[in-house]
Amino acid sequence: MSADAVDCWLDEKSEVLATSSLAMVHSILRRSITHAQRHDKVARNVAELVETPEGQVGRPSKSLSLEQAKAVLSGPAEGSWIHAYVVVSLLVGIRTEEVRPLKWNHVHLSPADGVVPHIEVWRSVRRRGEMKTRKSRRTLAVPRQVVTVLKAHRAEQRRRREALGLAWDPEGFVFGTDSGDQRTADQVRRSFRALLRRAGVDQPEKWTPRELRHSFVSLLSDHGIPIEVIARVVGHSTTIITETVYRKQLRPVITEGAEAMDDIFDGGGVATP
């Protein structure tokens, strides 16, 4: 067992458990390994080398409908940094703690040699550095709309920095402040809710940026993407984790056969429960 493996495991549990429950689980693991050390079963306590991540806030998560998502993507906030942030989160599906530390040198909008535009998801504010496990450190292709929005956002960010007399930093934060600092979770949350308000989404104060990822999963599932593919894209080690975390967003498997037969034989479709 390595410290990185423990970190990844706690990170996966953070999408299911509350912060207090995570702290308890982490504490039990530390004590268990300490007990093993006393009996010369392990050389070091790797659980002492990682931090307890922040967990869920204790309320059911929700996701944007397709109509709401379209309203957010084409709303009056277009051209702002928070609009670009939401486009990446909603259309690529990476965690909000992976979006905030994202840097331009990990964003490839015009790669050479026929490689598709992609983002390297290698950092998380939870881990305080680069992620090294195969599942959590992943490279994701990005949709055309993301490429267009990010190119415009990069040009605007460059223009704003030049207006402040600051040089362009090719390794700067994609969604950083004008001075180049990483935005805080609170700054993102406030701006996100303001964007939802302007887009006409009801009760924007009850939404959080992490629900963009839930929306991503819901939209993929509604489109018929297999859960194995969704799990790989969102960085889960197994589909069990995906089914547990996003059980309300995933289309019930039991309806898929009937819907497919209706499509095949033009039976008019069945209502989704």
For β-strands 107-108 and 118-121, DSSP reports them as antiparallel
Q: How confident is the model at residue 248 (pLDDT cuts 50, 70, 90)?
A: low
Q: How confident is the model at residue 271 (pLDDT cuts 50, 70, 90)?
A: very low
Q: How confident is the model at residue 74 (pLDDT cuts 50, 70, 90)?
A: confident
Instruction: Spell out a b/e string for 212-222, using b for 16 or more CB atoms within 10 Å of the CB, else e.
Output: bbbbbbbbbbe
Residue 96, pLDDT score: 85
pLDDT in tens, 10-57: 888 887 787 878 888 898 999 999 999 998 888 889 888 888 887 776
Per-chain mean pLDDT for the chain? 82
Entry pTM: 0.68
pLDDT at position 137 over 80: no
Helix axes 66-73, 185-199, angle to 10 degrees: 100
| Residue of 189 and 236 predicted with greater confidence | 189
Query: Which residues belong to the active site?
Result: 95, 132, 213, 236, 246
Q: Which of 39-48, 116-125, 151-160 has the highest mean pLDDT?
A: 151-160
**Mean pLDDT of the region 178-187:** 91
pLDDT in tens, 195-206: 999 999 999 998
Residues found in the chain: 273
**Mean pLDDT of the region 252-273:** 52
Residue 106, pLDDT score: 93
Under a CB-based contact definition with an 8 Å cutoff, are residues 59 and 205 in contact? no
